[in-house]
Amino acid sequence: MRSSIWSLSLLFALAAVSCSKKDAEDDTATDESQEDPTSGGSTSGGGSSEGGTTSGSGSSGGTTTGENSASCVAPAAVIHMTYKIQATASIGYGTNECGSWVYETVGNANEGNSPTLALDGTGTPYIVSQTTTGGNIKLSKRNSNKTWTTQTIYTGDVAFDFAIAIDSSDYVHIAYGSSIGNPDRRLYHLSNRSGSWVRTLADNSADVGTYVSMALDSQDVAHIAHYQAVDSSKGNLRYATVSASSTSQAQVEFTASAGSGYNGTSILVDSNDKEYIAFHQYKDASNVWLHDLYVATNASGSWLKTLIHPTSSAYYGTAIVADSLGQFHVAHLDTNNSYGIMDYASGSWSAASSSPGAISGNGSSNIRLGVDKANKLHMMISQYNSGQSKFVISYATNTSGSWATTALSPNADPGSDISFGIVGVKAQNSW
């Protein structure tokens, strides 16, 4: 990527979406406008006005830990996060909306595979997840009384690597890879923007739909980055768009050479509707896997990529955001379990002047990054800690001017899947 590309106006609007509220009211999905033969969820707990399962704090069922809402003092950056509860395969949820972190169990057991969260224009959290059996895709919405409504929005599919975004009319967009089909592993887009749930085939190629990330542009077109496996040691980076009226089948933007590939995608769309994807290019060097960290953009009209962090120092998880000053930030995992930030400013990439230090863990990781209205960064990491024989979730932020990291304490052992959103900020989803 030539440096002149990065000198384009990169102001990224992160204001809250102000729009009419649309509930995810229909629990029947269509596949390219064909009715799905199965209907939605059941009602339990405190009941439901939306045809789903209601759970949460108080008399509506569910489990809540934390401080009483009567003493609520909201922090400058209100965060909602989700994770999988390992023991029950339920959805775990946490928020700092009253200052300290509070955790809840959402919905029922065995409904919490791959939970992924996004916020609508009012700051209401939505969580997409999947049942452990039966292939049911679930959507959970937090109500104004802090209970939850969970509904089945698609059945008979086995999904993985969810990405979720809420558009300017507060309709829900979900991208995911499916392992159902012959051959399997296709990329789908699922949305209720037509008034009912419609599933669209976004990439009909084989072995696609992992490392999925998605962002919406100013016209609510979904831009989806994902990975295609070619063989056990090689894969391609692909990109697709889905609008209300058309679908652009995913294209191969970067083709892997022998013994190399691309993974860990994280996509954003700037205020000029230009796309930026952070990802890893990996390669086998004499049976030693090395990873380079790249950012690609089509701002010039064609896709170009720039190496922003050299070989062997970046591994798997990556996340890209842009602040209101037009500065990009990419989070990545360094060697020795230390998480770093790369910044783009004045036409070049460089390591941030300060980054979070080592995180307690030594196994596979998942990383998420967000930026608040004051242009402060917030990062969450889920990483396996062999000493504790479980995953641990860490939250890091530079809101005070320097990085501080806190070990979160959910009400049950979390899994590797985590996701979060910041109230008042346009969602930016990352793998």
CATH of domain 3-422: 2.120.10.10
**Read out DSSP for 15-67?**
PPP-----------EEETTEEPSS------BT--SSSSEEEESGGG-SEEES-
* Tokens 């037009």 sit on residue: 326
What counts of helices (H) and strands (E) characterise the chain?
1, 32
Q: In what order do the strands lie in the sheet with 260-269?
A: 260-269, 275-285, 288-297, 304-309
| C-alpha dihedral, 329 to 333 to 337 to 338, nearest 10° | -20
Q: Residue 178 has which token pair?
A: 């499916």
For residue 286, give the 3-state DSSP assignment: coil
Positions in the chain whose pLDDT score sits under 50: 1-28, 33-62, 67, 69, 431
Give just the sign of the alpha carbon dihedral 50, 52, 55, 56: negative
Give residue 227's identity as a one-letter amino acid code: Y
Give residue 98's identity as a one-letter amino acid code: C
Q: Which DSSP letter does residue 300 get?
A: T
What pLDDT score does 43 carry? 26
Give residue 368's identity as a one-letter amino acid code: R
What pLDDT score does 421 carry? 94
Contact 228, 247 (CB under 8 A): no
**Read out DSSP for 96-158?**
EEESEEEEEEES-TT--EEEEEEE-TT--EEEEEE-SSTT-EEEEEE-TTSEEEEEEEE-S--
Domain boundaries, the chain: 3-422
For residue 393, give the 3-state DSSP assignment: strand
